[in-house]
Amino acid sequence: MSEFQTNSRVIKWIEYRLPIFSYVNEHLVVYPAPKNLNYAYNFGSLAGVMLVVQIVTGIVLAMHYTPHVDYAFDSVEHIMRDVNYGWLMRYMHANGASMFFIVVYIHIFRGLYYGSYKSPREVLWFLGIIILLLMMATAFMGYVLPWGQMSFWGATVITNLFSAIPLIGDSVVTWLWGGFSVDNPTLNRFFSLHYLLPFVLIGVVFLHLWALHHRKSNNPLGIDIKGPQDTIPFHPYYTVKDALGLAVFGVFFALFLFFMPNALGEPDNYIKADPLVTPAHIVPEWYFLPFYAILRSIPDKLGGVIAMFAAIFVLFVLPWLDTSRVRSATFRPIYKQMFWLFVIVCLVLGWCGAKPAEGIYIIVSRVATFLYFAFFGLLPFIGWFERPRPLPESINAAVLKSGGGGAMPEGAAAKAEERG
Amino acid sequence: MADTTHGGQTRRDFLYIAAGGMGAVGVGAMAWPFVSQMNPSQDVLALSSTEVDLSTIDVGQSVKVFWRGKPVFIRHRTAAEIAEAEGVPMGDLPDPQADSDRVQRAEWLILVGVCTHLGCIPIGEQGDYGGWFCPCHGSHYDISGRIRRGPAPLNLEVPEYVFLDDNRVRIG
Ligand code: HEM
Ligand code: FES
């Protein structure tokens, strides 16, 4: 790969003191990425863009928002009606949170499908789960800020989860609230933390990228990069691919933003919080629904809470649960089917979470919860008896064989590399 | 690749510039709302006028009223003060303006009470010119609110106002 070179004396002067230009060059320009990355690999950069969108719109909202139980709801209406483009800022932020989760969930499923959590990328995977947990905490606290009915009762229900902890549960909840119910102190600390956590996220994202660039991207074949013939420089190949993905995703985002900005929200949240009346049917935002369904499917308070947290924390042990040495599901006939079943189970759980906890829905969510954990429980055994299909000898060989290199003879690819 | 020519433009150059141009337009269009949101919101603009009852202000008195977050000075000038203000030669003024251009009714002097230097609030009936004196950096204003000496570059601003009748004025 080409070393960073420049004729500019200013750049040389800075570079000598802080090698920032060569650093950017190394990680965003000449960075060698597997040449076979498909569109499933766009979601990482999209998640990064969404984090920036949330932070920028969030900072704007915070300029007009008042974190006080008497004013919060009205200040959000003030944003919607009076602030110039306030409706745009708020809808971007509210829908942006949903977009962020869509992107991150697809990103995670991509990792599951191609075995990206396996050695040597376990730490990269852990950092991803930490990002998911931080996002969830951030989104939950953000949802409380407009101080509507769902804000208030969502906050009450979710903080009450901690009362399931034996012995100290009640004291923990009082501590979280800063009082004896969700009230002004709760709103103020949630606002403070909601502002803080996205910046913690930036830090974790940097670690995530550091781990990524240290061990390089996995790829749809799940085999290692064996040499320069297996890679292409990040710029222009993947900058352009990411830009195209961003444009298409932007259309999708705009569809919600401009044509159905409240489709993903709950109408009840346009009613000001009333600590004396609980809405008939409390549901969290859609991105929490599968976990909410798991919580409700267990007929025991502590058990439900444990199952819900376990549903996420089990991802931390995934690298050891999966005993197969083959990464990509493309070459794992049984795992591939299990993967798609798992996706369906997650969708079914999400559907159950949106339904009232009664009748058939309880049965369906119990079965789905069982299957959710069964996926992880079966993985060690699948790895033992599944017979993977033969792996290609290299990324380059597979690309050329599939005709992927047809439009670009080998020589041209090599030349592109030189040009960087 | 085939489009790598020497000296001339290539298809790739064109695509590069076209894509970059589109990107720049998009970023610019997105930036506008983010800048605009910091301008006064509709409710702030809606609160931008104040009505004052003048019947309680005796000749020689002044009052301060609050308008758009700033003080407005309303001074009921005496005949002597009016004569003094009208008598000042234009040549003595750093920011020349006749007193008659600064009032609608000569007895009522209405000014935004914000020093045109750096925004402090001048003190009434002080300074060397019988008008206002700004303690921050020593600007002297006369009884027409015109700057006479000190670092302030301009006369005190005259807000928009209308007399609703003889005893009521609406500022803004
Ligand atoms: C990880 C990034 C973030 C996520 C996932 C997120 C999520 C959310 C959500 C779901 C809401 C409720 C939306 C509604 O129904 O109105 C919200 C509201 C809010 N957020 Fe964020 N947010 C993020 C970053 C930020 C940042 C960085 C700030 C401030 C610097 C911020 C400030 C606010 C404010 C002031 C509100 C209340 C106004 C409103 O309800 O629209 N957010 N956030
Ligand atoms: S602000 Fe009045 S003299 Fe400087």
pLDDT digits (tens, 9 = 90+) for A167-178: 999 999 999 999
Give yes or no for residue B121 CB within 6 A of ligand 2: no
d(CA B142, CA A303): 80
- The pTM assigned to this predicted structure is 0.87
Order of strands, edge to edge, in the sheet holding B70-76? B62-67, B70-76, B108-112
Give yes or no for residue B148 CB within 6 A of ligand 2: no
For residue A139, the enclosing domain spans 38-215+237-282
d(CA A138, CA A191): 10
Same domain, A207 and A329: no
In the reported structure, the alpha carbon of residue B85 is separated from the centroid of ligand 2 by a whole-number distance in angstroms of 22
Residue with CA closest to ligand 2 atom 3: B137
Same domain, A299 and A173: no
Largest CA distance in chain A: 74
Same domain, A276 and A156: yes
d(CA A227, CA A35): 11
Residue A197 lies in a domain: yes
How does the average pLDDT of chain A come out, rounded?
Answer: 94
Distance of CA B84 to the CA centre of its chain: 25
Contact check, Cβ <8 Å, B1/A412: yes
> CB-based contacts of A170: which residues, under 8 Å, 6+ apart?
A163
What string of pLDDT tens digits covers the 172 residues of chain B? 455 555 678 898 998 899 899 999 999 999 999 999 999 999 888 877 889 999 999 999 999 999 988 999 999 999 999 999 999 999 999 999 999 999 999 999 999 999 999 999 999 999 999 899 999 999 999 999 999 999 999 999 999 999 999 899 999 8
pLDDT of residue B9: 82
Q: Phi and psi (nearest 5°) for B58?
A: -75, 165
C-beta of residue A147 within 8 angstroms of C-beta of residue A73 = yes
Same domain, A278 and A294: no
Same domain, A338 and A256: no
Same domain, A59 and A122: yes
Residue A382 lies in a domain: yes
Query: Which residue from A49, A75, A194 has its CB within 8 A of the most atoms of ligand 1, so it is best to mutate?
Result: A194
Q: At what angle do helices A149-160 and A122-144 cross, to 10 degrees?
A: 130
**Angular region, A223: left φ>0, alpha ψ -120 to 50, beta rest:** beta
Q: What are the start-end ranges of the H helices in A216-332?
A: 234-254, 289-297, 301-321
Tokens of A135: 């996002």
A6-29 in b/e form (b: 16+ CB < 10 A) is eeeeeeeeebeeeeebbeebbeeb
Q: Which residues of A touch B43 (CB under 8 A)?
A: 78, 82
Q: What CATH number should be reported for the domain holding residue A92?
A: 1.20.810.10
Residue A225 lies in a domain: no
Residue A395 lies in a domain: no
User: What secondary structure, in 3-state letters, does B46-68 show?
Assistant: HCCCEEEECCCCCCCCEEEEEEC
Residue A402 lies in a domain: no
> CB-based contacts of A417: which residues, under 8 Å, 6+ apart?
A1, A228, A232, A233
Strand partners, B140: B133, B149
The residue with tokens 């600007």 is B139
The residue with tokens 């990792």 is A111
Strand partners, B72: B65, B112
Contact check, Cβ <8 Å, B43/A82: yes
In the reported structure, the alpha carbon of residue A139 is separated from the centroid of ligand 1 by a whole-number distance in angstroms of 7
Task: DSSP letter for B70, please.
Answer: E
d(CA B130, CA A322): 89
A199-219 in b/e form (b: 16+ CB < 10 A) is eebeebbeebeebbbebbbbb
Cα A198–A200–A201 angle (5° rounding)? 60
Look at residue A369 and give its three-state secondary structure.
Answer: helix
Strand partners, B145: none
The residue with tokens 């000038």 is B77
d(CA A210, CA A217): 11
Query: Which residue from B112, B121, B136, B155 has its CB within 8 A of the most atoms of ligand 2, so it is best to mutate?
Result: B136
Residue A363 lies in a domain: yes
Taking CB atoms within 8 Å and a gap of at least 24, the contacts of B121-126 are B121/B71, B122/B156, B124/B62, B124/B73, B124/B75, B125/B62
d(CA A143, CA A54): 13
d(CA B158, CA B156): 7
Same domain, A121 and A265: yes
pLDDT of residue A404: 57
d(CA B154, CA A289): 63
Peptide bond into A120 cis (omega under 30): yes
Same domain, A270 and A365: no
CB burial of residue B79 (10 Å; 0-12, 13-18, 19+): exposed
Residue A147 lies in a domain: yes
Same domain, A268 and A364: no
Same domain, A263 and A336: no
Q: What CATH number should be reported for the domain holding residue A367?
A: 1.10.287
> For strand B70-76 and strand B62-67, is the pairing parallel, antiparallel, or unpaired?
antiparallel
Task: Give chain A's length.
Answer: 420
d(CA A230, CA A222): 13
Same domain, A209 and A270: yes
Look at residue A233 and give its three-state secondary structure.
Answer: strand
d(CA A378, CA A334): 11
pLDDT of residue A413: 45
Which regions in chain A score pLDDT beneath 70? 1-2, 404-420
> For strand B108-112 and strand B123-124, is the pairing parallel, antiparallel, or unpaired?
unpaired
Look at residue B134 and give its three-state secondary structure.
Answer: strand
Predicted interface score ipTM higher than 0.90: no
Total domains in chain A come to 2
Residue A201 lies in a domain: yes
Nearest to B37 among A81, A84, A412 (CB): A84
Same domain, A175 and A323: no
The identity of residue A157, as a single letter, is: V
In the reported structure, the alpha carbon of residue B157 is separated from the centroid of ligand 2 by a whole-number distance in angstroms of 14
